[in-house]
Structure 1
Amino acid sequence: MLLPHHNRYAYSAITERPTYRWPEGKQLAFFIGLNIEHFAFGAGLSHSLSTPLPPPDQRAFAWCDYGNRVGVWRIFGLLDELGLPASHLINTTLFDYAPQILGAIKARGDEVIAHGRTNAERHGGMWERDEARFIAEVRDAIIEHWGQAPKGWMAPWMSVSGVTPDLLDEAGFKFVMDWPADDQPIWMKTRKGKIMSVPYPFELNDSPQMLVRQQSPDDFSNAIIDQFEEMLEQSEKQPLVFSLALHAMIVGQPYRLRALRRALKHICNHPSRDKIWFTRPGDIYEYCNTLPEGALPLPSGNAG
């Protein structure tokens, strides 16, 4: 039976791929993706910690806004304390709402990943021309405020249409992070070429784990440590990407931040720290783009 297929990438068993190493012979690439999100008041989508109230649901809005007013600054402090780089999946409406956040990202020398205009909307259901304008608007806002074009894209809510990879490629994006299919970067086919998929976690992600599955902060901290230890062991055989997805309004809460601190200290103080490449998705893309053809799984089939 022939099932519908996206035709973006072909099946590739991770055990059958050629091997390579990260820069300086590192085994495991590790990056943090911090989601910094802005929501409309009384309209559109929102995260919810409890039973949603009727609009305008000021409780949900204010809880999300805590991430921008308090949580993100606590997380920046933790990253500074541990000397960790990060990438920031940021809604462009934050550039006007809270410009201090982008200023701190610039001061840290971190990477900005395009994350739509606001998480109050999903773009997966847009008509193609509307989606193309939407993507261009986000790209141009980042160029204007950050001073350079973003390489990476992560859709709000990981929502995509059937042509999103094509439109991103045509708008100049180099990689996507919303196809959680692998532990290594892979190439995906577009109608005019290809775009890289850089691993980003759907599971090791504080939002689905703690808001949806109601995992405790200690459970999440232990999951980070177990994921790290297992991937470090597996990476002795082949290079892997260990990515950690965080949200400012979630792990920015003090008791969750304490648990996150324990996990990150475990990683940063690990005896095998010299085997870890502490990096950002854009650097992973740039390095992988220099590898010989065939080092990364190649796409096949026809897109569209």
Structure 2
Amino acid sequence: MPNFEKGATVKDRIPYQAPSDRQPLTLPGGARVAVWTIVNVEQWRPTAPMPRAVLPPPMGQPLLPDIPNWGWHEYGMRAGFWRFLNVLGTRDIRATFAVNGSACRAYEKACRAAHDAGWEFIGHGFVQKPMHMIEDQRSTIIETIQVIKDFTGSAPRGWESPGLTETDETADLLAEAGIEYVCDWVLDDLPVPIRTKTGRLTSIPYTVEINDVVISAVQQQPSDEILRRGRDHFDRLYLEGADSPRVMAISIHPYLTGVPHRIGYLEKLYDYILSHEHVVMWTGAEILDWYLGQSANVSHKG
């Protein structure tokens, strides 16, 4: 693959391919779909602007500390996260844990429980702030990787930028730091290589459609939307997977899908998916290893 030269555009990092141009891939046991779950854990500070809000400020004037919106998120870590742990654990599903580096300290007990459950940790920035607003991306990426390594005993292989944000240099900095895959490039149903100046980087299929931030916080859909949309999404990928496998992502946040009126629909979605044969429930790293193992001749580096 040609070098990703200075002056190239974001689009140049992942050249367009039609499905017919893709290298044939097969999942173990003739599986049709690889499903991975991403649990997002963040630290929000009541004295800073909230990443999202459930209540508008009184009289339209933002007020800090923002107790109601901070409390909305904090409920997820006090109650919702533990519901996720139960739902996934009782179904023997290992999640991919996208975590702010700072959250490993702020919510140490929850993060320890995720690690004890065998979840895969990936970087989600050090704080919940767009990469465009980080003064020194390189040091922030390195600090996040180090915190996760200190906490789990191994460096994260994957990365999900806060809000899926990247500047022109983010991919190069991630590859330079040893990150192997990212979730930010929501543009395909299968992994694809990302051109970088150094190192190898892969885009693993992520989602903004089966993502509770979009469903519940942005579009404000009914509580059962994750089940209805997730089931329809899975059905189409499962149908297409008879000819060529697909990857499905389910992205959830404790303060959204972890609440009492939504968690039951997440359970029903997993039970529906698990009722099908020829499905594998993997982590992001397992998807990456499968893809690279079948694509040894694909060049990611200039």
Q: 2:90 aligns to what SS in structure 1?
A: helix
Q: What aligned pairs does 1:264-283 form with structure 2 within 5 A after superposition?
A: 264-268=270-274, 270=275, 272-273=276-277, 275-283=278-286
Q: What aligned pairs does 1:40-55 form with structure 2 within 5 A after superposition?
A: 40-52=45-57, 53-55=62-64
Which residue number corresponds to residue 268 of structure 2? 262
Per-residue Cα deviation, 1:165-208 (whole angstroms, up to 9, x for no partner): 10000001000101101000000000124310001101110001
Q: 1:28, 1:277 within 8 Å by CA — same for their partners in 2?
A: yes
Q: Which runs of 5+ in 1 are unaligned?
A: none
Q: What aligned pairs does 1:265-304 form with structure 2 within 5 A after superposition?
A: 265-268=271-274, 270=275, 272-273=276-277, 275-293=278-296
- TM-score relative to the length of structure 1: 0.91
Query: Within the alignment, does 1:30 sit opposite 2:35 as a pair?
Result: yes
Distance 2:285 2:300 in 1: 20
Deviation at 1:5, TM superposition (A): 4.7
Distance 2:144 2:159 in 1: 10
Distance 1:262 1:254 in 2: 14
Which residue number corresponds to residue 106 of structure 1? 115
Distance 2:227 2:149 in 1: 35
- TM-score relative to the length of structure 2: 0.91
Which residue number corresponds to residue 176 of structure 2? 170
Deviating more after overlay: 95-104 vs 131-140: 95-104
Q: Which runs of 5+ in 2 are unaligned?
A: 1-7
Q: 1:113, 1:152 within 8 Å by CA — same for their partners in 2?
A: yes
Distance 2:122 2:105 in 1: 17
Distance 1:109 1:220 in 2: 25
Query: Within the alignment, does 1:140 sit opposite 2:146 as a pair?
Result: yes
User: Residues 293 and 64 from structure 1, CA distance in 2 versus in 1: closer, same or farther, beyond 3 angstroms?
Assistant: same
Q: Which amino acid aligns with 1:199?
A: P
Alignment partner for residue 96 of structure 1, among 105, 127, 141?
105
Q: Post-superposition, which runs of at least 4 consecutive aligned residues in structure 1 deviate over 6 A?
A: none
Deviation at 1:95, TM superposition (A): 1.6
Per-residue Cα deviation, 1:43-94 (whole angstroms, up to 9, x for no partner): 1442211214522110000110111111000111111122212111111212
Distance 2:118 2:256 in 1: 24
User: Residues 170 and 162 from structure 1, CA distance in 2 versus in 1: closer, same or farther, beyond 3 angstroms?
Assistant: same
Which residue number corresponds to residue 240 of structure 1? 246
Q: 1:8, 1:188 within 8 Å by CA — same for their partners in 2?
A: yes
Per-residue Cα deviation, 1:15-41 (whole angstroms, up to 9, x for no partner): 332322122332210010011111112
- Aligned-pair RMSD on alpha carbons? 1.8
Q: 1:7 aligns to what SS in structure 2?
A: helix
